[in-house]
């Protein structure tokens, strides 16, 4: 039996594996980069081994170092999690060659399915070779890896070469393999839905197809909201999806947990790929089937057989991925201190962070996965939306409000969503809707701590106190007064005010505001404000047309032949930043002349760094 497991991963999936191991009495071993020395997964493990460096290429993608760590720490099994080396056949072989148990599929199965081009060949599908106008739109896709990296949608033939170059570069950086291929694009405006089947297979010939999952709500080809079962499928289509998934597993003598992904369009299933690992969204399947997939992975790795038939499903589950990112600003990832993360009771939260942890630049910006399970889809969706609305997320900007609005959008609640959901609705879903009473609540909470020993009121009438806050890009000024009976404000009744809680009454209705302040950032319920100084310092000005780094990261490319003095067109890509495992394109804000170019490949930049200046024509 397995006695000790090393998780060859980080963050929430390592924590997820460790929870199951602890329940089973299995000792846990973590590996960590220098950036993750104090990360939750490192603290949670019984033993931790350092991987020197910070970038994935130097740490979590170094299979040789991870195998040495497992041997040194006395682990007898390795769980790959997802991402990094989880679908690397050479790593699986190295684990086995070291005499360790590999908690995953056979290396031969990984090899057969790890390349999406080879997987399609196994399923009798050929990628496009000579692309014509009739084939458009098409999708350029990395043959290795996943997570939306190395993918580009092409709608004009003139853009194909640039998309191939960009996809190859991103795929090589993320997976060490720059192979890409082209296929017809059935997502977005084509109305396609992303549907997948969870499979589980043992070494005795049994293969389970554990229902379906819908993962259509995506940004940058990465999933945002997932659910099980996929709504609106006919029994016949569901059976066909199960049949194809089992066929894919049997074609490569699969063992362990895996996922077969499809694009469903026009009532027809189109095979996409097989992920030879656990998926981020596996908790919705666990909730519906009442199982622990990691525990089953471990049992299969120990040689145990599955029951002849899988358990019966019950109810519906929905998962939302909480990211440190700004959806209204090109999904730009965010960094900084996560002061607090708390969800209401009754919601499953899988996370790799705790209060006070720092969100860095090296890894994916996902903070957590929140999962709700209920007897019906409508109840599960309502429960998750309500819980996220009450979730405290104090720190960098997140997509929490987007998740709540997405879950309550009529297209989603009716089950009519597709992979083009955010292409159509992002602007409306990210439109600011701040609470107009939040600045007053923030001011009163702050004032309650500044009254001193004898209070802040005066015998003689005095002018109201004034405080200023920035909220949703606008400045708000609020007025309040200290009196013998406490704090007052025009138009409302102040029922209670202390540093953490303010109760205001308007038109006979009382509302409670939970307040938390960290420096000049103030969180009032779900609204975030910035306290402005009473006497602001002169504002730092940048030259018109300055392109500022939207996030800390690395300059990976500058447009070929681009030099100062060149003429550029509005929207023209000038350079590319890599941050949090994604490539971000910086484009010209207007047609004109490139007056300054301050970026070179390999350069590390901070938020607000001036990358270039374009002087408008």
DSSP letter (8 states) at residue 492: B
Residue 202's pLDDT band, with cuts at 50, 70 and 90, is very high
Mean pLDDT, the chain, integer: 91
What is the CA angle 85-86-87, rounded to 5? 95
Among residues of the chain, what percentage have pLDDT more than 90? 73
As a whole number, mean pLDDT of residues 602-610 equals 85
CATH of domain 4-103: 3.40.50.20
pLDDT of residue 121: 78
pLDDT of residue 454: 42
Among 453, 477, 614, residue whose Cα is nearest residue 546: 614
Q: Which CATH superfamily is domain 191-429 in?
A: ATP-grasp fold, B domain (3.30.470.20)
pLDDT of residue 151: 80
Instruction: Write the CB contacts of 79 (distance below 8 Å, at least 6 apart in sequence).
Output: 5, 6, 7, 8, 9, 17, 103, 104, 294, 297, 298
Return the H-helix or E-strand segment holding 171.
helix 160-175
Cα–Cα distance for residue pair 345/368, rounded to 1 Å: 15
What pTM was estimated for this model as a whole? Answer: 0.85
pLDDT of residue 551: 75
As a whole number, mean pLDDT of residues 281-298 equals 98
pLDDT in tens, 350-378: 999 999 999 998 899 999 999 999 999 99
Q: Which residues partner with 583 through β-bridges?
A: 578
pLDDT in tens, 214-269: 999 999 889 999 999 999 999 999 999 999 999 999 999 999 999 999 999 988 99
**Between residues 539 and 549, the one the model is more confident about:** 549
Residue 187's pLDDT band, with cuts at 50, 70 and 90, is low
> Any idea which of 177-191, 266-280, 486-500 has the lowest mean pLDDT?
177-191
pLDDT in tens, 452-499: 444 455 555 567 899 999 998 889 999 999 888 889 999 999 999 999
Residues identified as active-site: 277
pLDDT in tens, 574-589: 998 887 667 788 999 9
Q: Which residues partner with 102 through β-bridges?
A: 78
User: Residue 436, preceding bond cis, omega within 30 degrees?
Assistant: no
CATH of domain 546-616: 2.40.50.100
Helix axes 89-97, 63-73, angle to 10 degrees: 30
- Is 534 within 8 Å of 519 (Cβ atoms)? no
pLDDT of residue 241: 97
Among 135, 204, 514, residue whose Cα is nearest residue 344: 514
Spell out the domain ranges in the chain. Answer: 4-103, 114-184, 191-429, 438-531, 546-616
3-class DSSP assignment, residue 88: coil
Return the H-helix or E-strand segment holding 30.
strand 27-32
Cα–Cα distance for residue pair 145/108, rounded to 1 Å: 16
| Domain 438-531 architecture | 2-Layer Sandwich (3.30)
As a whole number, mean pLDDT of residues 83-87 equals 94
pLDDT of residue 455: 45
**Between residues 606 and 251, the one the model is more confident about:** 251
**Between residues 59 and 169, the one the model is more confident about:** 59
pLDDT of residue 132: 86
Cα–Cα distance for residue pair 484/493, rounded to 1 Å: 15
Domain 114-184 top-level CATH class: alpha beta
Alpha helices in 337-420 (DSSP H): 377-389, 400-408, 410-413
């Amino acid at each position: 039996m397995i006695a000790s497991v090393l998780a060859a991963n980080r963050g929430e999936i390592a924590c997820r594996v460790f929870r199951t191991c602890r329940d089973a009495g299995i000792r846990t071993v973590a590996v960590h980069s220098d950036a993750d020395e104090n990360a939750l997964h490192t603290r949670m493990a019984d033993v931790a081994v350092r991987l020197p460096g910070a970038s994935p290429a130097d740490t979590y993608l170094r299979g040789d170092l991870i195998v040495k760590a497992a041997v040194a720490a006395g682990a007898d099994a390795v769980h790959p999690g997802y991402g990094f080396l989880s679908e690397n056949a050479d790593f699986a072989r190295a684990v086995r060659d070291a005499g360790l148990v590999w908690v995953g599929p056979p290396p031969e199965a990984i090899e057969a399915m790890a390349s999406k081009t080879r997987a399609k060949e196994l399923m009798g599908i050929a990628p496009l070779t000579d692309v014509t106008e009739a084939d458009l739109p098409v999708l350029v896709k990395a043959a290795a890896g996943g997570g939306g990296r190395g993918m580009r949608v092409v709608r004009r033939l003139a853009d194909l070469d640039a998309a191939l170059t960009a996809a190859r570069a991103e795929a090589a950086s993320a997976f060490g393999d720059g192979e890409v291929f082209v296929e017809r694009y059935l997502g977005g405006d084509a109305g396609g839905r992303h549907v997948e089947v969870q499979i589980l297979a043992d070494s005795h010939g049994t293969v389970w197809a554990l229902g379906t999952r819908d993962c259509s709500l995506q940004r940058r080809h990465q999933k945002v909201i997932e659910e099980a079962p996929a709504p609106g499928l006919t029994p016949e289509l569901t059976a066909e999806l199960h049949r194809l998934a089992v066929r894919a597993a049997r074609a490569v003598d699969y063992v362990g947990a895996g996922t077969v992904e499809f694009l469903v369009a026009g009532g027809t299933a189109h095979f996409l790929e097989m992920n030879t690992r656990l998926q981020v969204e596996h908790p919705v399947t666990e909730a519906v089937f009442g199982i622990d997939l990691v525990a089953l992975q471990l049992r299969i790795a120990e040689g145990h057989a599955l029951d002849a038939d899988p358990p019966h499903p019950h109810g519906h589950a929905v998962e939302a991925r909480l990211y440190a990112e700004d959806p209204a600003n090109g999904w730009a990832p965010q960094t900084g201190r996560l002061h607090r993360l708390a969800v209401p009771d009754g919601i499953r939260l899988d996370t790799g962070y705790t209060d006070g942890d720092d969100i860095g630049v090296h890894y994916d910006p996902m903070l957590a996965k929140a999962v709700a399970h209920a007897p019906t889809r409508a109840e599960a969706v309502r429960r998750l939306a309500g819980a996220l609305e009450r979730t405290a997320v104090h720190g960098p900007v997140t997509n929490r409000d987007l998740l709540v609005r997405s879950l309550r959008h009529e297209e989603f609640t009716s089950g009519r969503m597709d992979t083009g959901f955010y292409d159509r609705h992002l602007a409306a879903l990210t439109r600011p809707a701040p609470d107009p009473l939040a600045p007053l609540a923030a001011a009163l909470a702050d004032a309650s701590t500044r009254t001193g020993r004898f209070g802040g009121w005066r015998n003689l009438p005095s002018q109201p106190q004034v405080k200023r806050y920035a909220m949703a890009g606008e400045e708000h000024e609020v007025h309040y007064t200290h009196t013998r009976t406490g704090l007052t404000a025009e138009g409302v009744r102040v029922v209670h005010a202390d540093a953490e809680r303010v109760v205001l009454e308007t038109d006979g209705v009382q509302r409670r505001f939970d307040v938390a302040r960290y420096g000049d950032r103030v969180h009032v319920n779900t609204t975030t404000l910035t306290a402005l100084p009473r006497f602001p310092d002169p504002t730092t000005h940048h030259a018109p047309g300055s392109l500022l780094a939207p996030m800390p990261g690395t300059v990976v490319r500058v447009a070929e032949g681009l030099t100062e003095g060149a003429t550029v067109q509005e929207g023209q890509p000038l350079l590319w930043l890599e941050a949090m495992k994604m490539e971000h394109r910086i484009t010209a804000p207007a047609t004109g002349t490139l007056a300054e170019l301050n970026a070179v490949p390999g350069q590390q930049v901070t938020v607000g760094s001036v990358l270039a200046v374009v002087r408008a024509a």
